Amino acid sequence: MENKPNESRSARGNYSPGWKGGGMTRLRSWMIMGLLTVISGCGESEPQFVGTAHVLRVLDRIEAQQTDAAERLAAIEATVGENPPMVSAEDSESGSVAEQARPIAVETTVAFTEGPTVAEDGSVYFTDLGNNRIMRWSTDGQLSTYRQPSNRANGLIFDTEWRLLACEGGDGDTGLPRITRTDMNTGEIEVLADSYEGLELHQPNDLTFDGQGRIYFTDRPGPNPRPEQTGVHGVYRIDPDGTVARILTEPEVMRPNGIVISPDDSTLYVIETEQSEGGPRLILAYDLSAEGSVSNMRVFHDFYPGRSGDGMTIDSAGNLYVAAGLNRTRGTSETLDTVAGIHVFSPAGELLEHIPIPEDSITNAAFGGPDLRTLYVTAGKTLFSVGVDTEGTRR
């Protein structure tokens, strides 16, 4: 999930000069500038970002648009089962985007949705960040609260043994930021990671797993990192024996968000979601080794100057389904160049299809249904579903 950037971050320097050209050029310039900032050590604090703990600021903006959102939802509900308008080739990011209309259904609405994942029985679990809870949407259409408080849970995913993995941002009082695993039969919660090299995590955001059962997650500092925290943005790996390794950190990544691994375990994808002027808003791809390390970084897709992706999932053919874009501006430097919806990319980076989602802010997606051909999408206060052609994965 993204939040409004903290203005004090400008003390670290303006990244815009390096990000006004092509994606790779901007990335190289940004990495150099980030490295120079680290080396300079002029007593300045680490980057300041607003994360999950400040989601209420986002909710305030959403409530300010409540009337408009209600009208949008009413229009959607009135046309469930009908084909929504698709973005035209001229308005899309690529003229080759498929203009195939797909019926989109409103499953349920709550407050601020994130982190969808589908259980063994077909029910959808997702987080309601504004109310600090994990929700369950059953196959018979019943909405219930699975866990409250959730320790500010954000990204969720079921592992290969149908245990619920969760990124938890911490409640600020009794619970630390952590990665947990819940036994769905007993309800027992196991803490898999809450620190790295003796320092606490910040706000774990999203997670995925590979074929060897290793878990990968992103972590981002909030606006006021404490001395006992890592103080840096990072991508981490949890091995089956419990060992935690940091595989990417600043300046390699700046504000990591969504993360997923290809079905053949060969590629790791990470979304960068910096909202300030000139910041990286793109998907990075890395070669993933059998040992779980990464190399050969490249820009898979650049969303700049629009809103970047947030969360994503991947189908059995290796196509990425990325929740990205805005329906209206939100007081950041992000433009409307990225049309809000699910952006479907081939493994080669070609934009295959755009599935419009009419509510802000679109946050994440996951496959479900008996044949893994139903895509569940969280956006604003709503859980949506849409049928797709290719069988998905649970990553």
pLDDT of residue 223: 80
- ω into residue 361 within 30 of 0, thus cis? yes
pLDDT of residue 28: 43
pLDDT of residue 55: 36
pTM of the model: 0.77
Report which of 252, 215, 319 is spatially closest to residue 27, judged by C-alpha positions: 252
Per-residue confidence at 41, pLDDT binned at 50, 70, 90? very low
pLDDT of residue 105: 83
What's the mean pLDDT when you consider all of the chain? 81
Q: How far apart (Å, rounded) are the C-alpha atoms in residues 306 and 325? A: 6
DSSP labels, 28-86: HHHHHHHHHHHHH--SPPPP----GGGHHHHHHHHHHTHHHHHHHHHHHHHTTTSPPPP
Q: Which of 92-106, 110-124, 344-358 has the lowest mean pLDDT?
A: 92-106
* Confidence check: pLDDT of 316 > 80: yes
Q: Which of 57-61, 248-252, 266-270, 325-329 has the lowest mean pLDDT?
A: 57-61
Q: How far apart (Å, rounded) are the C-alpha atoms in residues 280 and 272? A: 6
Q: How many CB atoms lie within 10 A of CB 24?
A: 13
Report which of 301, 303, 298, 323 is spatially closest to residue 313, judged by C-alpha positions: 323
Average pLDDT over residues 191-200: 96
What domains does the chain contain, in order, with CATH numbers?
7-387 (2.120.10.30)
Distance separating the N- and C-terminal Cα atoms of the chain: 17
Q: Judge whether 188 and 163 are in contact, CB under 8 Å.
A: no
Most confident of 37-46, 92-101, 172-181: 172-181
Per-residue confidence at 372, pLDDT binned at 50, 70, 90? very high
Per-residue confidence at 1, pLDDT binned at 50, 70, 90? low
* Confidence check: pLDDT of 291 > 50: yes
Per-residue confidence at 314, pLDDT binned at 50, 70, 90? very high
Q: Which of 86-90, 198-202, 313-317 has the lowest mean pLDDT?
A: 86-90
The pair of structure tokens assigned to 300 is: 């898979």
Find the helix or strand (DSSP H, E) in which 25 lies.
helix 23-40
Q: How far apart (Å, rounded) are the C-alpha atoms in residues 358 and 346? A: 24
CA angle 381, 383, 388 (to 5 degrees): 145
3 state DSSP class of 23: helix
pLDDT digits 0-9 by tens, 250-283: 999 999 999 999 999 999 999 999 999 999 999 9
Q: Which are the contacts of 26, defined by CB distance < 8 A and separation ≥ 6?
A: 18, 19, 20, 278, 280, 302, 304
Average pLDDT over residues 296-319: 98
Average pLDDT over residues 315-323: 98
pLDDT of residue 287: 98
* Confidence check: pLDDT of 99 > 80: no
Q: Judge whether 255 and 280 are in contact, CB under 8 Å.
A: yes
